[in-house]
Structure 1
C-alpha cells in the first residue's frame, strides 16, 4: 500500500547553504519498491518505514551522546518527529539517509515503524556534501569531527577555506583553526575527540614545532589539569625559556635574604642546583640533578 502524504509541519531550516545545494523536488520511483512514485509534487514529506533506510556512508560524525539520544527518543515517542529526515532512493528500492541520523536512531529507540522523510534526487557527491555541511552547522560536533569534515570538503570538493566558510556560515579564521588541528599527533587528536583536551588546549599546543614536543606537552597539561590560560603560559615558557629564567631570577632577587642564604648553602653542600620557593614560611625545595651519580649524592646527603 503506498504511503499517505502527511501535512507539512513547521520545521527548522536545515541551515544556511544546505537547502541551496539542491532545489526541493520529488524523487523518481526507485527500481524495485515504488514508494517514491507517490511523492507529492509540493515537496511534502512521506512516511517511510525505518527498516528500509540504510545508514549514510558519508557520515563524518562518529560519536553520539547516549543520554541525549535517549532524551530525543522519549520526545519522539511522545510527540513524533518534528523535522523530517532527508533521504535518497537506491537502485535496490531501499532508502539511504542523507541528513537526520540522530532522529533516525532515536526513532528506532522509540520503536517507531515509520518516519517522515523528504526525498532528494542526488549523486554520491551531492549527498556527501549535504551531509558534511549539515553536520558542520550543528553545535555538538567535537573539534576533530569538525576538522575532518572541513578536510573532506577541501579534498573531495576542492573548496577553499573561504568557500567552506560561506557554505557553512562560519568565519574563515574558524575554518582555518579547525583544519590546523589535523597537524596534532594522532594520540593527541584522540584526547581532543574524547574531550580530555579542549579546542583551546589543542590550538595552544600547535604553537610547538614537533609532534614529540606537542605529545609531551599534552601529557603534562592533562596530568596537571591545566586550564587553557595555564597551558598558554606553559607553552610560552617552552618556546621562550630565557623569559622563564629571567622571571625566576627576578623572584630570587626579591626573595628573603635568609632564604637565599639557605639556598646557597644547600647548593655548596650538594654541588647541585637548588631552588627554594618560599611563601611566608611555606613552600618547597627543588633539587635538580642530571644523572644517577647526582641522584645518589642527594640520597647520601639526606642520610
Structure 2
C-alpha cells in the first residue's frame, strides 16, 4: 500500500465531491465553486472519460425529459487548461449531450479546480455509483489510473468503495478477445458471464454459445471448466471410466471444500484438480489449508 499522505485522503474527500456539493471544501480537498449557468458551447467533453458508449435511444429519452423538466443535477466541470473561459466535463457528459439535443442554450454546472488524477477518479466514481459504465469501460478506467498514476488494486478499491477482488476481476476482463469485449459492451453478455470466459480455452466460441443458447452464469462456469479434448483424446477418455471409489472420493472432497474436485489416475501417480470461480473462493481455500 502506498503511504503517500495525499493518497490516504482520497476515500474521505471524493465522496464529498460528488454527494455533498453544498458543504465548503476542506483545505485538502479541491477548490469547489458554486453552481452557475454556462453557455453549452463553452463546455467540452473530457478525452479521459472512462465512459465511451452513449446509446442513441437513451440520449433521445433523456433529451425529451430535459425539455420537460430541465437538468435536475448540474454537470461537474473544471476550467479548461487550453482556453480561458471554457470548461472540461468531469462528470455528466451524458446530460451535456442530451442537453444539446434538447436545444438548451446554457446548462447548470459546478466548477471544481482539480488535477487530471482527481478528475479521472471523480468520473469513474460518479459513473460506477450510477452503474453508467459497462464492465469494459470500468476496467479501462481502472487501468488508466494504474498506468497514469501508479495506483495499486488496493488503492483503487479504497477510492471507489469496492473490494480488491472486484477491482482484480474487473481488470481481468481486459484479457478477453475484442469480439467478446464487444458482446459485453453491447449487453449480450453480463459481467458474470464474461468473468467465466477469461480462463476458458476458447472464449469466443463459448461466448457465442452462451448468447445463442441463453446459458446461465452457472452453466457457463461448468462449460469453461471442462478441458478441451482433441479428436484423438475423446475415445480414450470414454474407455477409461472412473471407478466407484474415485468418484466417491471426488464427491467427498467437493463437499468438504465447496469447490469442484477432479481426480485423474495415471500409470504412475496422478493429479487432483480444484476448480474455483472467483478470487474469494481461492482466498477461502488458502485460509483453510493454512489452518
Q: TM-score range by the shorter chain?
A: 0.5 to 0.7
**For the structure 1 residues 58 and 121, does the alpha-carbon distance in structure 2 shift closer, same or farther, using more than 3 Å as the test?**
same
Shift of 1:205: 1.5
1:189 maps to: 181
Report the Cα distance in structure 2 between the residues aligned to 1:144 and 1:17, rounded to whole angstroms: 26
Contact 1:86 1:97 in 2 (8 A): yes
- 1:233 maps onto 2:222 in alignment: yes
**For the structure 1 residues 25 and 233, does the alpha-carbon distance in structure 2 shift closer, same or farther, using more than 3 Å as the test?**
closer
Shift of 1:127: 2.6
Q: 2:59 aligns with which of 59, 69, 84?
A: 69
Report the Cα distance in structure 2 between the residues aligned to 1:216 and 1:200, rounded to whole angstroms: 17
**For the structure 1 residues 197 and 64, does the alpha-carbon distance in structure 2 shift closer, same or farther, using more than 3 Å as the test?**
same
Contact 1:45 1:84 in 2 (8 A): yes
Secondary structure of 2:204's counterpart equals helix
Secondary structure of 1:45's counterpart equals strand
Deviations 1:149-174, CA, capped at 9 Å, x for gaps: 11112111211112111111112211
Matches within 5 A, 1:1-303: 16=15, 18-19=17-18, 23=29, 25=31, 43-90=33-80, 91-93=82-84, 94-208=86-200, 210=201, 213-238=202-227
Q: CA RMSD in A?
A: 2.9
Contact 1:17 1:167 in 2 (8 A): no
Shift of 1:178: 0.4
Deviations 1:108-167, CA, capped at 9 Å, x for gaps: 111111111111223333333332332233313111111111111211121111211111
Specify every segment of 5 or more residues in structure 2 that has no aligned partner in the other structure, as ranges.
Answer: 1-12, 19-24, 243-291
Shift of 1:249: 6.5
Report the Cα distance in structure 2 between the residues aligned to 1:56 and 1:106, rounded to whole angstroms: 16
Report the Cα distance in structure 1 between the residues aligned to 2:120 and 2:30, rounded to whole angstroms: 17
Secondary structure of 1:16's counterpart equals helix
TM-score w.r.t. the length of structure 1 is: 0.63
Specify every segment of 5 or more residues in structure 1 that has no aligned partner in the other structure, as ranges.
Answer: 1-13, 27-42, 251-303
Bigger-Rg structure (1/2) = 1
Contact 1:17 1:168 in 2 (8 A): no
Shift of 1:15: 6.9
